Amino acid sequence: MTLVKTSRDSGLKRRRFLVGAGVTAGAGALACHLPLNVIQPATAADPVPARPTTEVKHTVCSHCSVGCSVEAVVSNGVWIRQEAAFDSPINMGAHCAKGASVREHGFGEHRLRYPMKLVNGKYERITWDQAVNEIGDRLLKLREQSGPDALMVIGSSKHSNEQSYLLRKWVSMWGSNNCDHQARICHSTTVAGVAQTYGYGAMTNSFNDLHYSKAVLFIGSNPAEAHPISMLHFLHAKELGAKMIVVDPRFTRTARFAHHYVRIRPGTDIAFVWGMLWHIFNNGWEDKEYIAARTYGMDDVRKEVAKWTPDKVSDVTGVPEASVRMAAEMLATNKPSSVVWCMGITQHHVGTANVRALSILQLALGNIGVRGGGANIYRGHDNVQGATDVGPNGESLPGYYGIAEGAWKHFATVWGVDYDWVKSRFGSKELMEKPGITVSRWFDAVLEDNQYVDQPTNLRAVFYWGHAPNSQTRLPDMKAAMQKLDFMVVIDPYPSMTAAMHGRSDGVYLLPAASQFETQGSVTASNRSIQWRERVIQPLFECKTDHEIMYLFAKKLGFGEQLVKNIKVVNNEPVIEDILREINRSCWTIGYTGCSPERLKLHMEHKRDFNPTTMRAESGPCKGDYYGLPWPCWGTPEMKHPGTPILYDLHKPVAEGGLPFRANWGVEHNGEPLLAADGSFTKDSEIDTGYPEFDHVFLKKLGWWAELTPEEQVQAEGKNWKTDLSGGIIRVAIAHGCAPYGNARARCNVWNFPDPVPTHREPLVTPRRDLVAKYPTYDDKAAFWRLPTLYKSVQAVDFSKDYPLIMTSGRLVEYEGGGEETRSNPWLAELQQNMFCEVNPEDAAQIGVKLGEFMWVETPTGARLKLMAMVTPRVPVGLVWMPFHFGGWWMGEDLEKHYPEGGAPAVRGEAVNTGWTYGYDAVTMMQETKVSLCRLVRA
Ligand code: SF4
């Protein structure tokens, strides 16, 4: 095998030369050519030649949310080597292929090098000044003509917490909620589903906590490829005897380790989970005490589950009764047991309902809030959790504060600006409080007739700020929208497929952003641990950090001063530590307040002191803390809260990481109590029953108000624990052993959702037409996230005769996300050089295609994808599987010539999303990427 050739392989690269030549060889060669009269005898003042300065920078892998540490060895500003951080409690010296090759980003063979503009179909170099002024002028004109909502800003789950926060602030001060990022299309359904059930939208335990599990159900999750180092922790549990159940339509690399593998028909997860619960309830395996004390609405679930008798479950899911029962028994009788899910669960038009069914399953078994249990939701990008927590979400300000007037006032105070000034930036107060357009649908907001778009104008410009377009479905529609825009801007270390797919001859700008290794800041792993990344190298070429670019544009657009009111700026770069301190002062809701830059840096420096099973520091300056202060890390940094390693764990005091379920929905519903039962409370709590969230009134009623300092009382008056900027209410509540957010029951019935109890609904594009009438989808919606959204009218069309195969998609170990970065990395590109489609031998025989031959995958949208056949029994008859990281081809054509010179990734291929069909979750607008139909044609 030879290394994949890149278009920039010829010629000696400056950095490689510096490293490869070395000082000694260079000095020797130079000495030969010195004239004799400059050669002087050595003196004591100059004993040895200067040696390069070598230092180790501590950073975090940029390719998934496991959060593996990387030790980058830097010599004279050149990144020369990397080590896998043996003292990190997360990766303990291990890396997968992606993590082991991150140093390549420090060389940037395929990176954007300077700002560019598309002129007559060719990218031309421009200066930063020209770029900021020209784009800025166009934005100001757009704003004047159509208002601020004519712009869509698609942010990144790869931005640090500070950059994500600053981008949400930037969009707010521009005057819009039209911002979004990757989480919309990977785990928005998880966030909504678990938050509405338990209280917070995040993984409950940690990868390390799996050491305690006695059984784990992996459903719609393939961590052996998607989160490889997380498997280190699970396999440790397996060695100790933990049972492993894998539910997936495809026999994955994870399934290979399973004690029990269940092959399920895609899109039938709720029926399967209810099938498991049917056996659990029928055998009395549920935790009755836990259900009675800590849940609301389980009886409604029992009624729905009773309908899912084994015969019905088998008919709908394709799983034999014995197999469903075995999965249920393994999980229920080997406790504590954990459930792990990923995009096989979330990326469906019923994604939020899927998530809730699994959340309920864990409540029925009493597995939430216990060591070795939990709902463990592995996220995909390095900071997708953090960007969700504090970043550019169209329905919320940082910290899940929402966008109602109170939330805007809270942030206006924190930002040091007038609420009325912020309001004046928006088209109207109504638009200020209306959720924005999502990344999954932005192109519909360009193409749709304006009378159906729930804002004054269509979108006219888009910023793709660190986001891959090929990670979104319906690419032909996106391409049509790109052509209709006034202009679009790509801000990214790599050109991304956006640069090549649009088919325009002008109106496209490419701005080179620094990578994660060329800046510093904090990043939140999937388990809520926050890690500090040091800057490894200075930005390459003419790249700038994202926060500098935000500041430059804010200055040009007239709100530079407001953007950084409380933040120092050095050489146009807002100081990252100051941004984090602003997050610390504002995001009380999720406890991003105790994690000061100083505490996070100390954790990174003393990783070795943390126990890899408990994640707690056993010695050293962080003693007692949990690694990365997993949020909520309550109160001010001075309170020294240790972080919360397991959510909703009653066994510890709140001050030491314990928590009940959150009281977020009132005290009762339909006459049933929503607060926890008597006797259900966190260790050492002075209130021994359920209680509501803390505010100034409750504190006074309890007689605890006097425990606030006089200064705190001034700030806390009229406020609750989320809006009291002194942090006093939180401090006093925790001093009495109570959770600031109250002590409630988890909700099995979420009455404000389309399906209060999750209900199986057939996929929109399904081969089982016989089930459509019995399990229909939702009615079409007129205005949902500002757009009409179709359900029944899509499902009404029968595509199954012309497109007989089920199509699904997933992740590979070699690549990540849209894949542009990793497919530009020659070490990874070497490993997986072709886009392919897995097809069962029987289906391959039908069209006469053999392993390695090309074939067309045709879908109901009219799209055709040319890909290599991977003939394998991993997939069942009637189903094909494709990875989603490829891009750079368009229905058979290689787009290489459309990229800026030298910027095309080393490996290109068809994007599976070119062919994907319509479908969106009924709560979050998550796109459907796991069930559709296609047919195969030999190429
Ligand atoms: Fe670790 Fe994920 Fe990076 Fe692999 S991609 S090294 S599992 S953080």
Q: What is the CATH number of the domain that holds 793?
A: 2.40.40.20
Closest Cα to residue 711, out of 656, 640, 642, 636? 636
Phi, psi of 220 (to 5 degrees): 60, 35
Extract the tokens encoding 198: 């338990």
CA 207 to centroid of ligand 1, rounded, Å: 13
| Residue 123 domain flag | yes
| CA distances, 579 to each of 165, 174, 564, 567, 586 (Å) | 8, 18, 9, 6, 11
Indicate whether 42 and 153 sit together in one domain: no
| Residue 289 domain flag | yes
Whether 49 shows a pLDDT value over 90: the answer reads: no
Strands 116-119 and 122-125: antiparallel
| Contacts of residue 519, Cβ cutoff 8 Å, sequence gap at least 6 | 160, 163, 533, 535, 539, 545, 546, 547, 576
CB of 64 shorter than 6 A to ligand 1? yes
| Residue 745 domain flag | no
Pocket test for ligand 1, best of 61, 208, 232, 523 (most atoms within 8 A of CB): 61
The count of C-alpha atoms lying within 13 angstroms of the C-alpha of 524, restricted to the half-sphere facing its C-beta, is 31
Q: What is the pLDDT of residue 47?
A: 58
C-beta of residue 296 within 8 angstroms of C-beta of residue 198: no
**Domain boundaries, position 497:** 116-181+391-592
Q: What is the pLDDT of residue 24?
A: 29
Residue nearest to atom 1 of ligand 1 (CA): 68
DSSP string of 457-468?
S---EEEEES--
Ligand 1 atom nearest 382 alpha carbon = 8
pLDDT tens, position by position, 199-228: 999 999 999 999 999 999 999 999 999 999
CATH number, residue 404:
3.40.50.740
Place of tokens 């891959």: 468
Extract the tokens encoding 691: 């209680």
Indicate whether 12 and 91 sit together in one domain: no
CA 187 to centroid of ligand 1, rounded, Å: 18
Ligand 1 atom nearest 229 alpha carbon = 7
pLDDT tens, position by position, 335-383: 999 999 999 999 999 999 999 999 999 999 999 999 999 999 999 899 9
CA 98 to centroid of ligand 1, rounded, Å: 6
CB of 603 shorter than 6 A to ligand 1? no
Q: What is the pLDDT of residue 30?
A: 29
Extract the tokens encoding 132: 């900021």
Distance separating alpha carbons of residues 893 and 900, to the nearest angstrom: 17
Place of tokens 């504590």: 336
CA 227 to centroid of ligand 1, rounded, Å: 6
CB of 68 shorter than 6 A to ligand 1? yes
Ligand 1 atom nearest 94 alpha carbon = 6
pLDDT tens, position by position, 734-793: 999 999 999 999 999 999 999 999 999 999 999 999 999 999 999 999 999 999 999 999
Indicate whether 902 and 777 sit together in one domain: yes
CB of 187 shorter than 6 A to ligand 1? no
If one compares 637 and 105, the residue with the highest pLDDT of the two is: 637
Q: What is the pLDDT of residue 22?
A: 28
Ligand 1 atom nearest 97 alpha carbon = 4
C-beta of residue 489 within 8 angstroms of C-beta of residue 176: no
Indicate whether 32 and 69 sit together in one domain: no
Residue 732 pLDDT class (50, 70, 90 cuts): very high
CA 97 to centroid of ligand 1, rounded, Å: 8
568 C-beta neighbours (distance < 10 Å), count? 11
Pocket test for ligand 1, best of 104, 158, 227 (most atoms within 8 A of CB): 227
| Contacts of residue 29, Cβ cutoff 8 Å, sequence gap at least 6 | none
CB of 99 shorter than 6 A to ligand 1? yes
Q: CA torsion angle for 27, 31, 33, 38 (degrees, to 10)?
A: 130
CB of 97 shorter than 6 A to ligand 1? no
501 C-beta neighbours (distance < 10 Å), count? 24
Q: H or E stretch including 179?
A: strand 179-180
CB of 61 shorter than 6 A to ligand 1? yes
| Residue 728 domain flag | no
Q: What is the pLDDT of residue 848?
A: 97
Distance separating alpha carbons of residues 187 and 349, to the nearest angstrom: 13
| Bridge partners for 515 per DSSP | none
Helix, strand, coil tally for the chain in percent (to 5): 35, 15, 50
CB of 380 shorter than 6 A to ligand 1? no
CA 389 to centroid of ligand 1, rounded, Å: 21
Amino acid letter for position 764: L
CA 56 to centroid of ligand 1, rounded, Å: 19
Indicate whether 450 and 398 sit together in one domain: yes
Gyration radius of the chain over CA positions = 27
CATH number, residue 257:
3.40.228.10
> Of 566, 592, 618, which marks where a domain is finished?
592
Indicate whether 927 and 906 sit together in one domain: yes
C-beta of residue 742 within 8 angstroms of C-beta of residue 662: yes
**What single DSSP character describes residue 566?**
T
Indicate whether 467 and 555 sit together in one domain: yes
Pocket test for ligand 1, best of 104, 206, 229, 526 (most atoms within 8 A of CB): 229
Closest Cα to residue 593, out of 389, 358, 346, 868? 389
CB of 523 shorter than 6 A to ligand 1? no
Buried b (16+ CB within 10 A) or exposed e, 23-38: eeeeeeeeeeeeeeee
Ligand 1 atom nearest 63 alpha carbon = 5
**Mapped to the 3 state alphabet, what secondary structure does 306-358 carry?**
HCCCHHHHHHHHCCCHHHHHHHHHHHHHCCCEEEEECHHHHCCCCHHHHHHHH
- State whether residue 933 is helix, strand or coil: strand
Q: What is the pLDDT of residue 15?
A: 35
CA 63 to centroid of ligand 1, rounded, Å: 6
Residue nearest to atom 6 of ligand 1 (CA): 99
CB of 298 shorter than 6 A to ligand 1? no
DSSP string of 282-303?
HTT-S-HHHHHHHEE-HHHHHH
CB of 60 shorter than 6 A to ligand 1? no
Closest Cα to residue 604, out of 70, 63, 106, 64? 70
Residue nearest to atom 4 of ligand 1 (CA): 96
Report H helices in 42-87.
none
CA 808 to centroid of ligand 1, rounded, Å: 24
| Residue 688 domain flag | no
Phi, psi of 736 (to 5 degrees): -95, 15
CATH number, residue 89:
2.20.25.90
ω into 392 cis (within 30 of 0): no
Extract the tokens encoding 447: 């193409």
Distance separating alpha carbons of residues 500 and 492, to the nearest angstrom: 14
| Residue 561 domain flag | yes
Q: What is the pLDDT of residue 109?
A: 87
Distance separating alpha carbons of residues 866 and 819, to the nearest angstrom: 18
Distance separating alpha carbons of residues 110 and 13, to the nearest angstrom: 13
Long-range contacts of 708-716 (CB under 8 A, 24+ apart): 708/732
Indicate whether 154 and 299 sit together in one domain: no
Whether 313 shows a pLDDT value over 90: the answer reads: yes
Q: What is the pLDDT of residue 50?
A: 65
Indicate whether 273 and 310 sit together in one domain: yes
CA 379 to centroid of ligand 1, rounded, Å: 11
pLDDT tens, position by position, 814-833: 999 999 999 999 999 999 99
| Bridge partners for 261 per DSSP | 246
Q: What is the pLDDT of residue 27?
A: 30
Closest Cα to residue 263, out of 875, 806, 882, 880? 875
- State whether residue 693 is helix, strand or coil: coil
CB of 528 shorter than 6 A to ligand 1? no
| Bridge partners for 532 per DSSP | 522
Strands 508-512 and 487-492: parallel
CB of 63 shorter than 6 A to ligand 1? yes
Residue 10 pLDDT class (50, 70, 90 cuts): very low
830 C-beta neighbours (distance < 10 Å), count? 17
Residue 46 pLDDT class (50, 70, 90 cuts): low
CA 69 to centroid of ligand 1, rounded, Å: 9
pLDDT tens, position by position, 159-203: 999 999 999 999 999 999 999 999 999 999 999 999 999 999 999
pLDDT tens, position by position, 745-762: 999 999 999 999 999 999
> Of 31, 50, 69, which marks where a domain is finished?
50
Q: What is the pLDDT of residue 106?
A: 83
**What single DSSP character describes residue 810?**
E
Strands 337-341 and 215-219: parallel
Positive or negative: CA dihedral 687, 690, 696, 701:
negative
Average per-residue pLDDT in the chain? 94
Number of H helices, E strands in the chain: 32, 34
**What single DSSP character describes residue 175?**
T
pLDDT tens, position by position, 259-307: 999 999 999 999 999 999 999 999 999 999 999 999 999 999 999 999 9
Indicate whether 33 and 67 sit together in one domain: no
Burial class (CB in 10 A: 0-12, 13-18, 19+), 719: middle
CB of 95 shorter than 6 A to ligand 1? yes
CB of 105 shorter than 6 A to ligand 1? no
**Mapped to the 3 state alphabet, what secondary structure does 393-428 carry?**
ECCEEHHHCECCHHHHHHHHHHHCCCHHHHHHHCCC
Pocket test for ligand 1, best of 91, 516, 821 (most atoms within 8 A of CB): 91
Distance separating alpha carbons of residues 409 and 402, to the nearest angstrom: 11
Closest Cα to residue 62, out of 92, 93, 100, 90? 100
Largest distance between two CA atoms of the chain: 99
> Of 540, 573, 592, which marks where a domain is finished?
592
| Residue 100 domain flag | yes
Q: What is the mean predicted confidence (pLDDT) over 645-672?
A: 97
pLDDT tens, position by position, 77-136: 999 999 989 999 999 999 999 999 999 988 888 999 999 999 999 999 999 999 999 999
CA 330 to centroid of ligand 1, rounded, Å: 29
Extract the tokens encoding 371: 């060591």
Indicate whether 817 and 916 sit together in one domain: yes
Indicate whether 462 and 495 sit together in one domain: yes
| Residue 925 domain flag | yes
Share of the chain above pLDDT 90, in %: 93
Closest Cα to residue 378, out of 633, 207, 592? 207
Q: What is the pLDDT of residue 41?
A: 41
| Contacts of residue 697, Cβ cutoff 8 Å, sequence gap at least 6 | none
**What total of structural domains would you count in the chain?**
5
Ligand 1 atom nearest 102 alpha carbon = 3
Distance separating alpha carbons of residues 261 and 239, to the nearest angstrom: 18
Angular region, 399: left φ>0, alpha ψ -120 to 50, beta rest: left
Length reported for the chain: 939
Extract the tokens encoding 836: 């392919």
Distance separating alpha carbons of residues 692 and 707, to the nearest angstrom: 19
pLDDT tens, position by position, 836-895: 999 999 999 999 999 999 999 999 999 999 999 999 999 999 999 999 999 999 999 999
Extract the tokens encoding 194: 């678990």
CB of 66 shorter than 6 A to ligand 1? yes
C-beta of residue 521 within 8 angstroms of C-beta of residue 533: yes
ω into 767 cis (within 30 of 0): no
CB of 817 shorter than 6 A to ligand 1? no
**Mapped to the 3 state alphabet, what secondary structure does 831-875 carry?**
CCCCCEEEECHHHHHHHCCCCCCEEEEECCCCCEEEEEEEECCCC
